[in-house]
Structure 1
Amino acid sequence: MNKNDKIDIGKNVKNFSLKDQDEQSFTISEKKGKKILLSFHPLAWTPVCNDQMQLLEKNQEIFEKLNTIAVGISIDSSFSKKAWTNSLNIKNTRLLSDFWPHGMVAEIFGIFRENDGFSERANIILDEEQKVSYAKIYDIGTLPDFEEIINVLKKM
Structure 2
Amino acid sequence: MTVEVGSIAPDFTLPDSNRAPVSLSSFRGQKAVLVVFYPFAFSGVCTAELCAVRDDLASFQNEQVQVLAVSTDPAPALKAWAQAQGYTFPLLSDFWPHGAVAKEYGVFHEQGGMALRGTFLVGLDGVVTFAEVNEPGVARDQSSWKRAVAALPVS
Q: What TM-score do you get using the length of structure 2 for normalisation?
A: 0.90
Aligned AA for 2:51?
A: Q
Question: Any idea what the Cα deviations from partners look like across 1:66-108, whole Å, max 9, x if unmatched?
Answer: 6110121100000000111112122x11111000111011011
2:86 match: 89
SS in 1 for 2:61: helix
Describe how 1:95-106 pairs up with structure 2 within 5 A.
95-106=91-102
Is it true that 1:142 corresponds to 2:110 in the alignment?
no
Describe how 1:28-107 pairs up with structure 2 within 5 A.
28-33=24-29, 34-65=31-62, 67-90=64-87, 92-107=88-103
SS in 1 for 2:60: helix
2: CA distance between counterparts of 1:59 and 1:23?
26
Within the candidate set 80, 105, 111, 1:109 is matched to 105
In the alignment, structure 2 segments of 5+ residues that lack a partner are none
Structure 1 contact 66–153 (Cα < 8 Å) conserved: no
SS in 2 for 1:140: coil
What do you get for the CA RMSD once the two structures are aligned?
A: 1.5
Question: Any idea what the Cα deviations from partners look like across 1:80-139, whole Å, max 9, x if unmatched?
Answer: 00111112122x111110001110110111111112111111111111111111111113
Alpha carbons of structure 1 residues 93 and 121: separation in structure 2 relative to 1, 3 Å: same
1:118 match: 114
2: CA distance between counterparts of 1:96 and 1:53?
13
In the alignment, structure 1 segments of 5+ residues that lack a partner are none
Structure 1 contact 44–81 (Cα < 8 Å) conserved: yes
Higher helix share: 1
**Identical positions, percent:** 26
Q: What TM-score do you get using the length of structure 1 for normalisation?
A: 0.89
Alpha carbons of structure 1 residues 64 and 6: separation in structure 2 relative to 1, 3 Å: closer
